[in-house]
Chains A and B, each alone.
Chain A
Amino acid sequence: MDGLIILDGSGRPIIQSNFRNHPPSYPLSIVDAFNDALSKTLPENRATRSVDSGDLDPVLYISSTASGPAICCHVEKGGLRFLCPASQDIDPLFIFAFLERFLSVLQEYLQDISLAVLKEHFDVVYQVLEEMLDDGKPLTTESNTLRDIVLPPSFFNKVLSVAGVSGLSNATPAPFSSPIPWRKAGVRHNKNEIYFDITEDLDAIMARNGTLLSSTIWGRIDCNSRLSGIPDLNLSFINSKAFSDPSFHACVRLQKFAQTSSLSFVPPDGNFVLMEYQVSPSAVTRGSTAMSNGGLQNQLLNFVPLILKSKIEVGEKGGSFTFTVTPRSGSEQLKHRLGVENVVLSLGLDSGAIGAFCTASFNSGGQGFGGSRDKEREERAAGVWAWEPNKKTLRWTIPSLGSPSASSTWTLKGTWTSTEQVPRPCRSIMMHFQTPHMLFSGIKVDQLRMTSEMYKPYKGVKIASKAAVEWRW
């Protein structure tokens, strides 16, 4: 890595690290090359219709800079672009891992990453950057250690700095005094709390005939620790056999996990990702042990509480479509009366699409609403549709499924117009939905035990699951 450059929304550098071993024109040529590549993907400059604005290669090759050929890895966040050029061979994953860490540290320091916030605290950004990246090598990247040497901006610090007192010289008497690299020394909290957020994502692809082509469930445990001292925790789970191929924060003792499937760790202070895992499909077949592969697929299918039937007809300069959504009777969510929320269906239309018009309707399947007030309710239940001209996407949102009967149907009917002679809409419809209070894997936190500190910590656990299902039509 040679350094880091932060660009604002219009492609101008606002903050950049020191490029010590390179001529001053080097970062400039990187920025130019990046802006050039970016502008080529913008809709108005598009050479072919196939490339859209999201498709800038994350690793750009820049053949001529002041220091010879280079690669430029970049990520986007909060409307800003973070570029990391490298003129020597390096694993791009190394750069992306660093960028990710840098952004999460910034997030923690500034709460929000945006142009205004960065400009407001540019001195902090400079200091953090200086500590994290020394001549292109990652130096101190643990946020707990960083907070010892660069003070996060806070109202208190501002008062201090206005009063002409530096917080750093007296606030942290002994940087690097902690025996654990990821945890600050001498942490004190009035309330001792720790929160676990377990989220699972289902990624699935549905074939035209409604069978499951591919599905993966990813899980992640975010943790926010506000515990004093050096707490040594042990977190155990129910149904932990569902964890497959996990990855851990450096604080987790791998050996313990291998032996007992429980997490034993001394947490860093603050927010961190404790663990990420995949859910092994065999572990979610609740109860029934011996199942054929087909049965397994059906089981997974039951995590998708809705069935989508779509009919899309493409004509000259436009087309028409009908989406029909019905509940899947055997699905886990409906069986256990769990709320399914934020169902979003989106269809990318062709690049020449100008507009769409549709009507959304809901048929409760017999129970029926009557009267004007119920009409309102019915309209709400049918969801809202929107046309997003920038992304050329049609989006239909059903805020909540409520408790549908087997014959309930949601329908979206409409047409769209396009400048293309033969429009080519996206070949699949994306369906997103959330099920709070449920995990696909059936994993539950069993108990949290703490040794080495005297107090009793408060433990909070929140679970939620999301799904992104691609329906091909």
Chain B
Amino acid sequence: MAFNNLAENAERLSRRIQESFQERTRDFTKSGQASYLDANDLDKTVNLSKLLDSTSEREKLDGLKRIIAMISKNRNVSAYFAQVIKNVASPNLEIRKLVYIFLLRYANVEPDLALLSINTFQKDLADSNPLIRAMALRVLSGIPVASIASIVAAAIRKCAADSSPYVRKSAALAIPKCYNLDTTHLPLLMQTLSTLLKDRSPLSIGSVAIAFNAICPDRLELLHPHYRRLCKMVADADEWGQVQLLELLTRYARKMLSRPPDVSAPEELDEANPGQASHEDHELDPDLELLLTSASPLLQSRNPAVVMAVSRTIYSLAPVKERRKFVLPLMRLLHSSKEVERVTLENLRVVAQASPEMLRPHISRLYIRSSDITQVKQVKMRILAALITPDNAQDLLREFKDYVVDTDDKLVSDAVWAIGQCALKAPDVSSSCLSALTMLIRSSNDVAVAAAVLALKSLHQCRTSLTGSLNVVASLASHFDNISHPEARACILWMVGQYARSSGQGTTPMPANLQAIEPWVPDILRKAVKSFKSDPSAVKLQALTLAAKVFVLAPSHEQSCMLARYAFSLARYDLDYDVRDRARFLSSLLAGVNGGVSSGLGSDEQEVDMQEGVILRTPQVIHVLFEGKVAPSDEGRWRSGVLDLGTASLITGVAMQDDYLRQLPDWPDEGTDSSLRDTQDDTPAPFYSQPSLKLQGFGAESIGNFSRPGSTLTTPVVLTPGDSSPSSSVPKPGLAKPHYMDLDKFFASDEEVASEDEEEVTEEELEAEPQTKSTNVATTVAPHPVSVASGGHTSTEGHDAPQPTRESDDEYTDEESDEEDAFLRRG
């Protein structure tokens, strides 16, 4: 016993120790953050203000995290706005970032308070750290207060000339935001944009394309002087930039360049084979070729969006004979994920319908697996159906036969339909298609049966010769009892009526007795009448039609006529007004035949009315009932209308807002003059001298330059002249500047810059700056909002003042970005 007690005590003690240990280490192991999102901790709001006002960074951070967690839970935390904003100039980057996240979400709730922080951001725009400069601009442009639009526009302009491509990228991305805020700043923004267009850093150029698409998508003429350089830069831009750039350049090419020689004008394209155009004589526009050769290597990108963008470019721009090359890369995407597969297939479907020959060699890769998701199965089916030719019909028929036992009913009915398509497109296999379809009628699956009946019906209508005699209809009719699917029943009744005329009689105009119809037809009518009461309306309507047809074809067959009359009397009192209406219509039509279908039902005023109308003779009635049936077209089965590759509306089938922005214009009648695109850039620049830009991959010699970044960075004299610097606005062709400035000149120019613009601080000074600045802010912000607001205002003016002279900033150069540019150039 004693031992037991002891053991129990020891256990309890150890648990205690463990608990307290856990308590102490909780901060380390878990820091308890998960509870921020979970707990319904309203009581903790009490100390939240204390945390935010705390002097300890750790507590501030904790408070901010709680605030962010509350935002996540859709709690209203605007009460803390002022306290949070106070921390906007914290030296701790993590705190700042959380404040930024908060600010961006709540700025529109408290615009006045948000303005308090603007002062800080303007200071941050001159920070030495590119990360801080970029973040400041991003937050500044993200504050949705229209009154600061001019400040934002000016800040963007300043950042557009920044030395760091990352900041320039942020500047480009801020342009659409500013434009949304206040459209009146468009001229200034356009000016900034054209500065950015000259940017030679591949890092930022993609964002410039985004900005261009957002604020002036139609001003493609602005791209003339940049077109060739942008083409060459595509391969080096970041992946997302590549997509945007390709889209922009593709639109440009469609608007400004001349049509490739073997692509015919749209009006011919519909019927004629585009390969046989008359423009054989003239060559592919070299500018177009440049775009295509620069884009093609990107088919090997790891990013599916890039592959699709290149495919779109090739598909819409390349000569027909060169289009094939994007098919395999697109097929590669099918393996990446089911989401990507689903979207890619939809694009391949467009290709399959427009030029099936491109996909036929790879057809077996599009076979449907039982594990595919429904949407994938459907699209694959559409593609396979579009690819049927007499050559592959045998194989495809075997595939389709496998699909009709799939667990997905949509696929089953599509597959059955496709078997019908095989029969139409490949006469050789039509007999096996027919036997497959007739087999399916005995299937236990309603859906397959219905689809088979429909397929047989349309086959019979399209090619009566194909189905031969009436035996298809007869065999369908013999299964009438076993088929319960309403659509299939209705369809059979229609077919029986339509093809009831005895084949022996051919086109005998006036049938007089039962010989005029197939012997089994009255029996089907009997069955239809028998089940009339329980059938759905769609079947009832067809039963009436059948009755009318039999009535007019065999007026002398007593039993049939009685059946028909019975059907009409049933229909007259049907619950569905469509059925009643159809009965009335048909009986009026038949009024002149054999004393009318309603005779013997007792005369009422309706019959009297009918006597006064026009009464058709029997041949006329036959004409009305039997002729003019158009074979159904299967176009409507799936929404068609070839759409553009790489769009959302292709997937959803519904046009999206603003999709005209992405639509490609038609080729112009004549391309614009290529001299428009001639620039000074075309004369070999130091870095672009190698022509082999079309393949990415930077040469070994360039890598040699950068294997020791420290050493290059510590030789500040090796500055490239302003002319080839990324931010240089106008290339000055006349001045053949030396590549390297000597030291004296460098310092001289540095002084110039410094004297022209006081705000421009050299890197070394900025290193020491942050400390003092943060204290400044701490004193200005917070306790007296009014004074701070006025302070912010004056500072704004102070910032605006030097703007006109800022052109000189273009002389500002930076070795870091140049180095990076050179590195990326994979010549």
* Chain A interface residues toward B at CB < 8 A: 13-16, 18, 20-21, 48-51, 54-55, 57-59, 61, 63, 68-69, 71, 73, 75, 86-94, 96-98, 100, 116, 119-123, 126-127, 130, 134-135, 137-142, 149-151, 155, 158-159, 161-169, 174-181, 185, 201, 203, 205, 207, 213-214, 216, 218, 229-230, 232, 244-250, 252-258, 264, 266, 273, 276, 278, 348, 350-351, 422, 424-428, 430, 451-453, 470, 472
Q: Which residues of B contact A120 (CB under 8 A)?
A: 30, 33-34
A169 lies within 8 A of B648 (CB):
no
A205 lies within 8 A of B367 (CB):
yes
Q: Which residues of A contact B94 (CB under 8 A)?
A: 127, 151, 166-168
- What's the interface size class on B, roughly? 35 or more
The residues in B between 333 and 378 inclusive whose CB is less than 8 angstroms from any CB of A are 333, 335, 337-340, 342-344, 364-365, 367, 369-371, 373-375
A252 lies within 8 A of B697 (CB):
yes
B240 lies within 8 A of A137 (CB):
yes
B28 lies within 8 A of A155 (CB):
yes
Q: Which residues of A contact B335 (CB under 8 A)?
A: 201, 203, 216, 218
Q: Which residues of A contact B34 (CB under 8 A)?
A: 116, 119-120
Q: Which residues of B contact A246 (CB under 8 A)?
A: 300
Contact of B305 among A94, A176, A245, A452 (CB under 8 A): A94
CB proximity of B23 to chain A, nearest CB, Å: 14
A168 lies within 8 A of B652 (CB):
no
CB proximity of B487 to chain A, nearest CB, Å: 15
The residues in B between 166 and 181 inclusive whose CB is less than 8 angstroms from any CB of A are 166, 169-170, 173, 176-177, 180
7 A-B pairs with CB atoms under 8 Å apart are A92-B648, A127-B101, A137-B173, A162-B27, A230-B707, A258-B695, A276-B332
B697 lies within 8 A of A256 (CB):
yes
B824 at the interface (CB under 8 A from A): yes
B586 at the interface (CB under 8 A from A): no
Q: Give the docked Cα–Cα distance between A245 and B369 (Å).
A: 23
CB proximity of B336 to chain A, nearest CB, Å: 8
The residues in B between 381 and 413 inclusive whose CB is less than 8 angstroms from any CB of A are 398-399, 402-403, 405-410
Binds A, one of B497-505, B653-661, B714-722: B653-661
Q: Give the docked Cα–Cα distance between A91 and B659 (Å).
A: 11
Contact of A158 among B31, B306, B407, B661 (CB under 8 A): B31
A61 lies within 8 A of B104 (CB):
no
Contact of B703 among A48, A122, A164, A452 (CB under 8 A): A452
Interface contact tally, CB-CB below 8 A: 322
Contact of A426 among B301, B370, B706 (CB under 8 A): B370
A427 lies within 8 A of B406 (CB):
yes
CB proximity of A385 to chain B, nearest CB, Å: 19
B238 lies within 8 A of A137 (CB):
no
Q: Give the docked Cα–Cα distance between A266 and B696 (Å).
A: 13
Q: Give the docked Cα–Cα distance between A434 and B306 (Å).
A: 32
Contact of A169 among B91, B304, B365, B709 (CB under 8 A): B91
Q: Which residues of A contact B566 (CB under 8 A)?
A: none
Q: Give the docked Cα–Cα distance between A16 and B133 (Å).
A: 25
- Report B432-467 CB contacts with A as 1/0, cut-off 8 Å: 000000000000110000000000000000000000
The residues in B between 789 and 812 inclusive whose CB is less than 8 angstroms from any CB of A are none
B57 at the interface (CB under 8 A from A): yes
Q: Which residues of A contact B10 (CB under 8 A)?
A: none
| 8 cross-chain pairs, A with B, having the tightest CB-CB distances, nearest first | A253-B697, A164-B58, A89-B659, A255-B695, A61-B652, A89-B656, A58-B339, A214-B364
Given contacts A59-B342, A134-B173, 19 further A-B contacts (CB under 8 A): A57-B342, A87-B657, A88-B657, A88-B661, A90-B662, A96-B337, A119-B36, A126-B68, A127-B97, A130-B101, A149-B131, A159-B28, A162-B31, A166-B95, A169-B93, A214-B364, A245-B331, A427-B403, A430-B371
CB nearest to B698 among chain A residues: A253
Name which of B69, B72, B207, B342 has the most chain A CB atoms within 10 A of its CB.
B72
A122 lies within 8 A of B36 (CB):
yes
B656 lies within 8 A of A69 (CB):
yes
The residues in B between 31 and 77 inclusive whose CB is less than 8 angstroms from any CB of A are 31, 33-34, 36-38, 56-58, 61, 65, 68-69, 72
Q: Which residues of B contact A58 (CB under 8 A)?
A: 338-339, 342-343, 375
Q: Which residues of B contact A50 (CB under 8 A)?
A: 374, 407-410
Contact A88/B305 with A123-B33, A253-B698, A452-B707 known, Cβ cut-off 8 Å: no
Contact A424/B405 with A162-B27, A247-B300 known, Cβ cut-off 8 Å: yes
Q: Give the docked Cα–Cα distance between A425 and B365 (Å).
A: 24
Q: Give the docked Cα–Cα distance between A221 and B92 (Å).
A: 40
Contact A248/B302 with A218-B335, A426-B370 known, Cβ cut-off 8 Å: yes
Q: Which residues of B contact A57 (CB under 8 A)?
A: 342, 374-375
CB proximity of B380 to chain A, nearest CB, Å: 12
Q: Give the docked Cα–Cα distance between A55 and B339 (Å).
A: 11
Contact of A166 among B93, B100, B180 (CB under 8 A): B93
B92 lies within 8 A of A166 (CB):
yes
Contact A69/B703 with A14-B72, A181-B203, A205-B367 known, Cβ cut-off 8 Å: no
- Report B206-239 CB contacts with A as 1/0, cut-off 8 Å: 0100100000000000000000000000000011
B302 lies within 8 A of A249 (CB):
yes
Contact A138/B240 with A89-B649, A119-B33, A119-B38 known, Cβ cut-off 8 Å: yes
B819 at the interface (CB under 8 A from A): yes
B100 lies within 8 A of A130 (CB):
yes
B196 at the interface (CB under 8 A from A): no
Q: Which residues of A contact B144 (CB under 8 A)?
A: 20
A176 lies within 8 A of B164 (CB):
yes
Contact of A91 among B28, B95, B97, B309 (CB under 8 A): B309
Q: Give the docked Cα–Cα distance between A230 and B705 (Å).
A: 12
CB nearest to A170 among chain B residues: B93
B337 lies within 8 A of A100 (CB):
yes
The residues in B between 148 and 207 inclusive whose CB is less than 8 angstroms from any CB of A are 164, 166, 169-170, 173, 176-177, 180, 203, 207
B329 at the interface (CB under 8 A from A): yes
Q: Which residues of B contact A14 (CB under 8 A)?
A: 37, 72
Q: Give the docked Cα–Cα distance between A18 and B109 (Å).
A: 14
A250 lies within 8 A of B302 (CB):
yes
B130 lies within 8 A of A175 (CB):
yes
Q: Give the docked Cα–Cα distance between A71 and B371 (Å).
A: 25
Name which of B92, B94, B176, B654 has the most chain A CB atoms within 10 A of its CB.
B94
B562 at the interface (CB under 8 A from A): no
Q: Give the docked Cα–Cα distance between A155 and B661 (Å).
A: 48
Q: Which residues of B contact A278 (CB under 8 A)?
A: 328, 332
Contact A137/B57 with A97-B303, A179-B709 known, Cβ cut-off 8 Å: no
CB nearest to B821 among chain A residues: A179
CB nearest to B409 among chain A residues: A50
Contact A91/B72 with A75-B339, A159-B28, A426-B370 known, Cβ cut-off 8 Å: no
Q: Which residues of B contact A71 (CB under 8 A)?
A: 648, 651-652, 656
B692 at the interface (CB under 8 A from A): yes
Contact of B129 among A59, A175, A430 (CB under 8 A): A175
Q: Which residues of A contact B33 (CB under 8 A)?
A: 119-123
- Report B118-143 CB contacts with A as 1/0, cut-off 8 Å: 00000000000111000000100010
CB nearest to A253 among chain B residues: B697
B177 lies within 8 A of A348 (CB):
no
Q: Which residues of B contact A168 (CB under 8 A)?
A: 92-94
Q: Which residues of A contact B405 (CB under 8 A)?
A: 424, 427
CB proximity of B690 to chain A, nearest CB, Å: 11
Q: Give the docked Cα–Cα distance between A351 and B406 (Å).
A: 12
Contact A247/B105 with A122-B69, A169-B91, A175-B129 known, Cβ cut-off 8 Å: no
B646 at the interface (CB under 8 A from A): yes
Q: Give the docked Cα–Cα distance between A90 and B649 (Å).
A: 9
Q: Which residues of A contact B170 (CB under 8 A)?
A: 134, 139
B709 lies within 8 A of A185 (CB):
yes
Contact of B65 among A123, A134, A165, A169 (CB under 8 A): A123
Q: Which residues of A contact B661 (CB under 8 A)?
A: 88-89
A213 lies within 8 A of B364 (CB):
yes
Q: Which residues of B contact A91 (CB under 8 A)?
A: 243, 305, 308-309, 343, 646-648
B177 lies within 8 A of A89 (CB):
no
